[in-house]
Amino acid sequence: MDFLRRTANPWSQDILIGVAWDLLWAALFAGILFVVVHALYVAVMAPVPEKTDRPIANVPEKIERHSGASRSFHWLMALSMLVLLVTAFFPLVGIQFAWVTIHWVAGLVLTLLIIYHIWDTTVRKDWRTIWIGKKEIRQAIQSAGQFLRRKPAKEGRTGKYPLDQRAYHNATTLVSVGAIITGLLMTFRIDTWFWTSNPYFLSDTTWGLVFILHGLCGVALITLVIAHVYFAIRPEKRWMTRSMIKGWITREEYLEHYDPEQWKIGDGEPAHSESHGLEEMSDVPPSDPGAVAPA
C-alpha cells in the first residue's frame, strides 16, 4: 500500500502532492471492522449490568437533552460533512461531476458552524462537560482494568456526556479543525468568490504538507462517520438518536443512564442552557426508545 503521492514540479524537483488514495479504502475497512467487532462483542461478551430502582422525586416526565439550536447545529453539520465527503471521494472512485465549488462552499459552511459551536460551548455553556479531563482518564483506566480482569459489570451512571461521547467529540473536533484549516489554505489555489487563484501563496514543500494533512483528516472522517452512524442506529442507543431529533428523553431514560448529581436538573428543569423548551414538550406522549426509527 502506498501512503503518499509524489510528482515532479516544473523544475524537476520531487514534491509531495498528498496522501495515496489507498488510505480511502483502509479507512472504509477500519470503519466496517470496528462495527463488526463491536457488534460481536456486544452480542457475545459484553456483560449486562443489573438494574436497580431509582427514585423519581422532582424528576419531570420529559427532560430536554438538546435545545433546538443544538439540534439544528448537529444536522447542518452532518449535512455539510456528508457533502464534503461525497465531493471529495466520489470523483476518486470514478463518479465525475463539477465538485470543486460545491466542496469549498460546504467547507465554508462547516467552518461557520464550527465557529458558532466554539462560541456556544465556551460562552453559553460549560465546555468542560464535553471535553475529557483527568477524571475521565481515570474512569477509562478503571474500566479497562475491569474488562481485562473480566469483573462483572456494575450499572454506572454518568453526567450528561459519558466518556465514549466525549472521546468521539474530541476526536471529531480535532480532525474537523485540521480539515478546516488546511482546506481554507487550499482555497488559495482556486478561484473563489473572494479571491483569485494564487498557487504561489505557499512553497511546494509547504503545500505538500497541507495536502497530506487535509487528506489524512478526510480519510479519518470516513471512519468516524461510520462509527457515528453505527451507534445511532443500534437498538440500545436509539433513545439518544431520538433526543437529537425531538430534543427530549424520558424520565426513565434519565434515571437509568444519568447520575442526578452529575447532571442536575434542579426542580424539574435541565441544567445549564438546556432549560428552555420543556413547556412545548408537555403534551408529547412518552415513547418506547426501542421503537424509534433512526434518522
Instruction: List pLDDT tens digits, range 8-24.
Output: 877 877 888 888 888 99
- Report pLDDT for 156: 62
- What is the average per-residue pLDDT within 108-133? 82
Strands, DSSP E only, in the chain?
Answer: 4-8, 14-19, 62-64, 248-250
Domain annotation covers residue 247: yes
Q: In the predicted model, is pLDDT for residue 33 greater than 90? A: yes
- What is the average per-residue pLDDT within 204-218? 93
- Report pLDDT for 268: 36
Q: What is the pTM of this model?
A: 0.78
The single-letter DSSP state of residue 233 is: H
**Rg of the chain taking only CA atoms, in angstroms:** 22
Domain annotation covers residue 72: yes
Q: In the predicted model, is pLDDT for residue 282 greater than 90? A: no
The CATH number for 134's domain is 1.20.950.20
C-alpha grid cell, residue 240: 439518544
Per-position DSSP letters for 43-54, written without gaps between them: IIIPPPPPP---
The single-letter DSSP state of residue 291 is: G
C-alpha grid cell, residue 241: 438518536
Q: Which residues are registered as beta bridge partners of 143?
A: none
Q: Which residues are registered as beta bridge partners of 248?
A: 64
**Residue 221: in which H helix or E strand, if any?**
helix 204-233
Domain count, the chain: 1
Gap between the Cα atoms of 39 and 28, Å rounded: 17
Which domain range does residue 70 map to? 4-46+56-291
Q: Average the pLDDT over each of 92-96, 101-105, 111-115 and give the range with the smallest value.
A: 92-96
Question: What number of CA atoms fall less than 13 Å from residue 247's CA on the CB side?
Answer: 19
- Report pLDDT for 277: 36
> Which one-letter amino acid corresponds to residue 68?
G
Domain annotation covers residue 34: yes
Phi, psi of 16 (to 5 degrees): -85, 140
The single-letter DSSP state of residue 237 is: G
Gap between the Cα atoms of 120 and 123, Å rounded: 6
Name every residue whose Cβ is closer than 8 Å to that of residue 37 and which is 6 or more positions away in sequence. none
CA dihedral 251, 253, 259, 261 (to 10 degrees): -20
Gap between the Cα atoms of 160 and 151, Å rounded: 26
Domain annotation covers residue 162: yes
- Report pLDDT for 294: 35
Domain annotation covers residue 51: no
Gap between the Cα atoms of 227 and 218, Å rounded: 15
Instruction: List pLDDT tens digits, range 62-88.
Output: 999 888 988 999 999 999 999 999 999
- Find, among 243, 267, 253, 257, the residue nearest to 59 by Cα: 267
Gap between the Cα atoms of 66 and 165, Å rounded: 14
Gap between the Cα atoms of 233 and 237, Å rounded: 7
- Report pLDDT for 1: 57
